[in-house]
Chains A and B, each alone.
Chain A
């Protein structure tokens, strides 16, 4: 069969991405028609930059989700087809069987795997980890930053010192220290996961308790229900096949496997923990700064006079009023997390070597870059557009939230 021309490749890729286009179209039409009723999200559609950014981000989100459901991919991302090593984009597969896709749309990589399918599958790795890791980092940062800013004093000095300690660490050195197999074998990342994942539970508990503690009849069942669910999820997250920590000479029992419905593969857990760990001090500093600023406002003084508890003031008076800058930073931080994930992949840390994530693929492709461009260029542009989209989105949000 003949190789495809550039126009045919583009056409076929666009066709392959059809579900994404449809979803994007529906999302945009829906959002545009209800934009006056959707608050800050709706206002985003008043700013062209924000809209472009949002479109780019949602493109990759949909691509990742549909890719995970095997809708867009043309081949198995790990499958090697002989004769397709380093082949140019649009090369037809020789002697392809019935029912398989006839071409490698973006060519083959140095192990004769399909670059296009790996690209799509790589999007899922990012879409899975980056937002979730950023949410966890925000939980940690908020739970520590609010009291540090509100109470000040020794507590503030101590937590700020710890945060500066982590910030003074060159990120790559930290990754190398945390993510090497020897360190993973000692269970250090598991301990860190146990501590870091505790913060969302603390956050939710304090959030609900401070609001409803005057109404024990509502609070007790609510808190009990939420806590049981949260702790169950937490234990599922941190325990792997029945153990919290399982090293050669030491083990801590965790959740029995009967109750454990999902296991996070070791590599992903380590990557996740280290990304959260690196991001949370920065979030802490932002939240602390905002708290210091907002706690001098009149409505905080009013709440204090009313006799509200400190945690109520922090979580229900200060935090909602700090949401603007926090949402903007959230978008930027997802972008930064994506870059960090790429960096980890680039140095071959954490994720398994055959993983289709963009950083690893760029690292594989760069070795042959002077001859074959496509294996490295495709993920490079993917990462670029996603991070650019997030930055533009943050910019649009900042502009729109300043208009109020």
Chain B
């Protein structure tokens, strides 16, 4: 088990390095840098001016070297101009170049400076992640129990009317992406055209003060899309368990049906959904980006869209590091959890 976890962590770190390198490479392609120079300097810069601006910022080094500097494994680039002034990533404006640390990258906790929000990337990500974390927490609190109940009820008696109707519900929700269900919800529950006006169509005010009125629609929108898939997995695993020999034995010895479901079937039926729930995180991340854009809730997903749309390279890199790590860590937990929950794998 220890070796297994160690290997998984090793692969995870390798994956994270590869992925961040890909993102780094893509964001540091020359047209992107040129655009950065022009937005930071001025729009009518000549090609030479762009080149010298990039040279000064150390953007013209080779990509692997820049990547190592950004991660914090290589000493950071320093530029000396004609007058002998030293500038560089590690040297904050107004501080003495001699005292500045030579390494400053992700590992040292220096995430860069956002060109759009004019703030430290680390602090932006921390606040935005907090907001999204709360959203995700609410989603999970509703989605997981709802999906499990739906799946267990449907899978309890395969082929019954209840199974058919609940399965159709599950299929419909998986077929409704967030941008469709969100739009329908806003139209039905918050527009003046239909006039129900039960909830608010934007969640901007939910950032300071989440209430039932302004937070329901975003949460429900994400819940609905994610729920169907988990419910179907739970149903599949439940129907499989319900045909097992020991369930028949329990029935034959006269255990009541609710007791069979609760005590005998449920425990084994919930192993598969557990992994699925953990693997849902990358999907949820997608949903979060769409829903936060749709409802104007300025969380992590909204930041991703802003950073990518405005060519904010450092912020985009920071956002990708976090999202890639979230995905990889949930995958790791799912793998370990699967092994831990399943005695057949755990013991052998």
Known contacts: A168-B19, A377-B183. The answer to whether A183 contacts B26 by CB under 8 A is yes
Contacts of A391 in B (CB 8 A): 171, 174-175
Contacts of A167 in B (CB 8 A): 282
What string of 1s and 0s marks CB contacts (under 8 Å) between B157-196 and chain A?
A: 0000000000110011011110110011011001111100
Instruction: Indicate if the CB atoms of A384 and B175 lie closer than 8 Å.
Output: yes
Closest Cβ–Cβ distance, residue B243 to chain A (whole Å): 14
Which A residue sits closest to B174, measured CB to CB? Answer: A391
Closest Cβ–Cβ distance, residue B31 to chain A (whole Å): 4
The answer to the question of B102 belonging to the interface, with a C-beta cut-off of 8 Å to chain A, is: no
Which B residue sits closest to A345, measured CB to CB? Answer: B179
Closest Cβ–Cβ distance, residue B48 to chain A (whole Å): 16
What string of 1s and 0s marks CB contacts (under 8 Å) between B308-320 and chain A?
A: 1101000010011
What string of 1s and 0s marks CB contacts (under 8 Å) between A73-97 and chain B?
A: 0000000000000000000000000
Closest Cβ–Cβ distance, residue B47 to chain A (whole Å): 11
Instruction: Indicate if the CB atoms of A383 and B180 lie closer than 8 Å.
Output: yes
Instruction: Indicate if the CB atoms of B174 and A173 lie closer than 8 Å.
Output: no
The answer to the question of B216 belonging to the interface, with a C-beta cut-off of 8 Å to chain A, is: no
Instruction: Indicate if the CB atoms of B19 and A380 lie closer than 8 Å.
Output: no
Query: A180–B23 Cα gap in the complex (Å)?
Result: 13
Contacts of B309 in A (CB 8 A): 176
Instruction: Indicate if the CB atoms of A377 and B27 lie closer than 8 Å.
Output: no
Contacts of A380 in B (CB 8 A): 179-180, 183-184
Q: Which positions 3-27 of chain B face chain A at CB distance < 8 Å?
A: 11, 14-15, 18-19, 22-23, 26-27
The answer to the question of A387 belonging to the interface, with a C-beta cut-off of 8 Å to chain B, is: yes
Contacts of B304 in A (CB 8 A): 170, 172-173, 176
The answer to the question of A342 belonging to the interface, with a C-beta cut-off of 8 Å to chain B, is: yes
Query: A383–B184 Cα gap in the complex (Å)?
Result: 12
Closest Cβ–Cβ distance, residue B74 to chain A (whole Å): 23
Closest Cβ–Cβ distance, residue B343 to chain A (whole Å): 23
Query: A168–B18 Cα gap in the complex (Å)?
Result: 11
Stretch at the interface among B64-72, B88-96, B252-260, B285-293: B285-293
Closest Cβ–Cβ distance, residue A156 to chain B (whole Å): 14
Query: A343–B19 Cα gap in the complex (Å)?
Result: 22
Instruction: Indicate if the CB atoms of B179 and A359 lie closer than 8 Å.
Output: yes
Closest Cβ–Cβ distance, residue B20 to chain A (whole Å): 11
Q: Which positions 23-42 of chain B face chain A at CB distance < 8 Å?
A: 23, 26-27, 29-32, 35
Closest Cβ–Cβ distance, residue B33 to chain A (whole Å): 9
Query: A372–B285 Cα gap in the complex (Å)?
Result: 29
Query: A339–B15 Cα gap in the complex (Å)?
Result: 27
Instruction: Indicate if the CB atoms of A384 and B282 lie closer than 8 Å.
Output: no
Secondary structure dominating the interface of A: helix
Instruction: Indicate if the CB atoms of B30 and A168 lie closer than 8 Å.
Output: no
Contacts of A377 in B (CB 8 A): 183-184, 187
Contacts of A390 in B (CB 8 A): 175
Instruction: Indicate if the CB atoms of A188 and B183 lie closer than 8 Å.
Output: no
The answer to the question of A33 belonging to the interface, with a C-beta cut-off of 8 Å to chain B, is: no
Query: A49–B159 Cα gap in the complex (Å)?
Result: 13
Q: Which positions 345-370 of chain A face chain B at CB distance < 8 Å?
A: 346-347, 359, 362-363, 365-366, 369-370
Which A residue sits closest to B30, measured CB to CB? Answer: A186
Which A residue sits closest to B191, measured CB to CB? Answer: A370
Query: A180–B304 Cα gap in the complex (Å)?
Result: 14
Known contacts: A173-B308, A369-B186, A380-B183. The answer to whether A168 contacts B177 by CB under 8 A is no
Instruction: Indicate if the CB atoms of B29 and A188 lie closer than 8 Å.
Output: yes
Contacts of A342 in B (CB 8 A): 177, 179-180
Query: A98–B245 Cα gap in the complex (Å)?
Result: 75
Contacts of A178 in B (CB 8 A): 26
Contacts of B51 in A (CB 8 A): none
Contacts of B35 in A (CB 8 A): 182
Binding site for A on B (CB under 8 A): 11, 14-15, 18-19, 22-23, 26-27, 29-32, 35, 167-168, 171-172, 174-177, 179-180, 183-184, 186-187, 190-194, 201, 282, 285-286, 289-290, 293-294, 301, 304-305, 308-309, 311, 316, 319-320, 323-324, 327-328, 331
9 contacts between A and B (CB under 8 A): A161-B14, A165-B18, A171-B286, A173-B304, A183-B32, A343-B179, A376-B183, A383-B180, A391-B171
